[in-house]
Amino acid sequence: MKRFFLFLAAMFVFHAAACAQIIGERLDTTKIYEVELVEITTTGAKATTPVAYDDLTKEAIVRSSYGTDLPTALALTPSMIATNETGIGIGATSIRLRGTDATRINVTINGVAMNNPDSHSVYWYDTPDLISSVGSVQVQRGAGVSTNGTGAFGGSVSMTTDALTTDFGGSASLSYGSYNTNKQALQISSGLMRDHWVVDARLTHIGSDGYIERGATDLKSYMLQAGYYASNTKVKLLSFGGVAKTYLTYNGVSQEDMRLYGRRYHTSGQYVTSDGPYVLADGTHVDYYDDETDNYLQLNNQLVVNHRFSREWQLAATLFYTYGYGYYNQYKDDAWLAGYTNLNTTIEQADLIRSKVMRNHLGGLNGAATYNTATLDLTFGGSWSYYTCPHWGTLSWVDGLDSGAVAGRWYDNDVAKQDANIFARADWEVYSGASGRVNLFGDVQYRYVHYKAWGTNDNAIWGDEGVTMQPIDVDQRYNFFNPRLGLSYVIDRHNLFASAAIAHREPTRSDFTDRHMFAADDSYPKPERLTDVEVGYTYVAPQLTVGVNLYYMFYHNQLVATGMVNDGDDALNTNVERSFRRGVEIMASWRTTKWLTLSANATLSQNKILDYVDQLKDSPTFGQNLGTMTISYSPSVMGAVSADFHIGGFDAVWRTQYVGKQYFTNNEIEALSLDDYCVTNIDLGYTLRRQSVGSVRFGLRIENLFSTLYESNGYGYSYMWDGERYDEAFYFPQAPINFLANVTINF
């Protein structure tokens, strides 16, 4: 099987590269036009695709590029929630879609998966200001079409980089706002050179002190694109990434600590010292370790080749390689030294500073061929990738020991993952006449995953004979068959679709390595299966668009969040045999006048586990069948209303979002829940157009206009101790009203 995928990949690259050498007709440089973006057809949906999806407008992308992370823009779409640890949308941000966490949302750019193959997460601050280089963003809800990388269990986000322009130009952008939030960005494009070549580059710095105390963020990024264009061949070389340094803020804050010290308080990096400059409510003197930070370098590289053989046939191939290296430093106050096996000491407890390190490589190839006629769109292709990542830990200081006594690694493990798929997809217009058009859609994907992890983990196992580090020995192979069948019917302004799909997904690294923290046995986590049935209707008129989508997502062995997190803030998940998410999504947009558009969306849902048996060994209800329970982090009500006003060079967008109550655990415990919240944001802008400059745009974003006191995320768990029940909950408070101003000059 491996040789087959390697052969397929090699054929795609060889043929595409050969085609790139063909010098076609010279481009007509007497015309003013934009070089068409190389289309990646394997992950996007179109009007006749029976999938619930939304495309972000270019205006929405521009308004979201002042400095905040991409989830801020993604939250503009139905059923989507953005979360943030620092309280202002910069730094550690994430998303949930239909209640499904980010590890189950497939994210691609130019068809290349952005999800980390190990954790399945997307760390947005590792590619800062990516939104400034994005040309299109499509959010698909549900199983979606065939994807590369981890399976889409709640939805997918498909992005493409911006088109290269034939004209020389660029932009300079400056932002500044509350909590010393700032951004500086410079972008320049060469325009068309020698009739075939275009180069585009961007440099960005984003910084902020954060709303949360010591929640500082320092992000530097770049984007470099070089394109070659002939009449039938397009080649793009892209490199983008950045260096991120963020203070660790993932431990949250309890309600009690918020009452004592305020909403900005958190304990990361805090240690007790007799002469500490800070005094807690009980009189304890503390100080904070200055370098309690996460540091990461990520470099993404893509070679995209697109060749059109004829009017009907087209070939696309993308060769990619991503390098990542990172570590985070932690101060541990009064740590038990027996848990650090590289130490040889009789000291039982001491303060220490430790680092957790990782270095990863991801390389692979995506390829697809398309055949298009007036009645048939056929796409088939495949993808192969290989990922390696060693993890290890070191100590830089232990109180009472010299530097020679703390050398070595206290844990050391490796990961290797191979991921491959082949797929075929067809969109066939089976009928067209006076009564409308009927399209039949079919999508079949086979996916192969081989995941290996070995060595010792960072979890200390305390036994009768002493302390050892948790061994890791995972060698799992998965064969997934993911089919989709759908039908769409279009007549005049009405579009109706229905679809059914089956999707599968493998467990994450932490599902394997951290299972011992809550499981009563040594079993492996199981892969998940989703059966997704959807029916949608859209009415489109020149001034009014109305849509409704019904979905029923039934899961077998869904991995649901327990409310607990590991030492790196990864959610601890447990399999539940039967569960479902079903709901209705309603969307409407009304262009009342040429200068005012009103929009709204709402999601009403039920997210349930059937016959939930609590398998958390320390839970007060361990072993009990609790019946039908609400799935954690799954609000039953979500919605948003917005007003888009624009006249002349002035534009203003008002948006209010409501998110219903969420439970941290699957037991429906009130003390372990996140209150509902309603937040209003405003974007104001004015654009001056001058022939000598091009344009100058002034923007002002006002977040949380009414200073709502709310938390966008949190975690919690229950346990028994000495016969008493304890409920521990921690939250991530968001900033009250705050501002971010921007000026962008386009030349």
Check residue 166 and give its pLDDT: 84
What's the pLDDT score for residue 33?
A: 39
Is residue 480's pLDDT more than 60? yes
pLDDT at 38: 41
Query: pLDDT tens across 215-272, in order?
Result: 999 999 999 999 998 889 999 999 999 999 999 998 999 999 999 999 999 999 999 9
Q: Tens digit of pLDDT for each residue in 45-91?
A: 888 899 999 999 888 888 888 888 899 999 999 999 999 999 999 98
- 318-358 residue pLDDT tens: 999 999 999 999 999 999 999 898 998 899 999 999 999 99
Residues in a beta bridge with 325: 297, 359
| pLDDT of res. 694 | 86
Residue 193, pLDDT score: 92
Q: What is the mean pLDDT of residues 678-693?
A: 90
Going by C-beta distance under 8 Å and a sequence separation of 6 or more, which residues neighbour residue 377?
370, 371, 426, 427, 428
Q: Residue 36: is it exposed, middle or buried by C-beta count within 10 angstroms (0-12/13-18/19+)?
A: exposed
The neighbour count for residue 548, using CB atoms within 10 Å, is 14
User: For residue 399, what pLDDT is reported?
Assistant: 95
Strands, E assignment, 492-543: 494-505, 528-540
Q: Is the pLDDT of residue 42 over 70?
A: no
H-helix or E-strand containing 60?
helix 58-63
SS (H, E, C) 431-493: EEECCEEEEEEEEEEEEEEEEEEEEEEEEEEEECCEEEEEEEEEEEEEEEEEEEEEEEEEECC
Query: How far apart are alpha carbons 213 and 216 in whole angstroms?
Result: 8
The second-level CATH assignment, the architecture, of 2-746 is: Beta Barrel (2.40)
Q: How far apart are CA 316 and CA 16, in angstroms?
A: 7
Flag whether pLDDT at 700 surpasses 60. Answer: yes
Structure-model confidence comparison of residues 554 and 722, the more confident one: 554
Average pLDDT over residues 532-555: 97
Round the average pLDDT of the chain to a whole number and report it: 91
Q: pLDDT-based confidence at 41, cuts 50/70/90?
A: low
Residue pair 269/294 in contact by the 8 Å Cβ criterion: no
Does residue 725 carry a pLDDT above 50?
yes
What pLDDT, on a 0 to 100 scale, did the predictor assign at position 7? 37
Amino acid at 305: V
DSSP bridge partners of 419: 385, 449
Is residue 10 very low, low, confident or very high in pLDDT (cuts 50, 70, 90)? very low
Is 361's pLDDT higher than 80? Answer: yes
Domain locations in the chain as residue ranges: 2-746
Question: Which structure tokens are listed for 155?
Answer: 């939805």
Question: How does pLDDT run across 381-429, given as a tens digit for each residue?
Answer: 999 999 999 999 999 999 999 988 999 999 999 999 999 999 999 999 9
3-state secondary structure of 636: coil
Give the pLDDT score at 18.
Answer: 41
**Are residues 643 and 678 in contact, defined by beta-carbon separation less than 8 angstroms?**
no
pLDDT for position 90: 93
Confidence check: pLDDT of 14 > 50 = no
Q: Which of the pair, 1 or 556, is modelled with greater confidence?
A: 556
Instruction: Judge whether residue 5 has pLDDT over 70.
Output: no
pLDDT tens-place string over residues 245-257 = 999 998 999 999 9
> How is the chain split among helix, strand and coil, in percent rounded to 5?
10, 60, 30
- Distance (Å, whole) CA 657 – CA 81: 9
Backbone torsions φ then ψ of 241, nearest 5 degrees: 160, -155
Is 394 within 8 Å of 355 (Cβ atoms)? yes
| Residues in CB range of 705: below 8 A, 6 or more apart | 680, 681, 682, 737
Tokens coding 647: 């006249």
**CB-based contact 23:471 (threshold 8 Å):** no
Query: What local confidence, expressed as pLDDT, does residue 299 receive?
Result: 97
- CB 558, CB 575: distance < 8 Å: yes
Contacts of 299 (CB under 8 A, 6+ apart): 239, 241, 322, 323, 324
For residues 97 and 155, is the Cβ–Cβ distance under 8 A? yes
d(CA 90, CA 178): 12
Query: Lowest-confidence range among 91-95, 148-152, 347-351, 361-365?
Result: 148-152
pLDDT tens column, 563-582 = 998 877 788 999 999 999 99
Average pLDDT over every residue of 506-532:
92
Segment 435-443 shows an average pLDDT of: 95
Q: pLDDT at residue 117 above 80?
A: yes
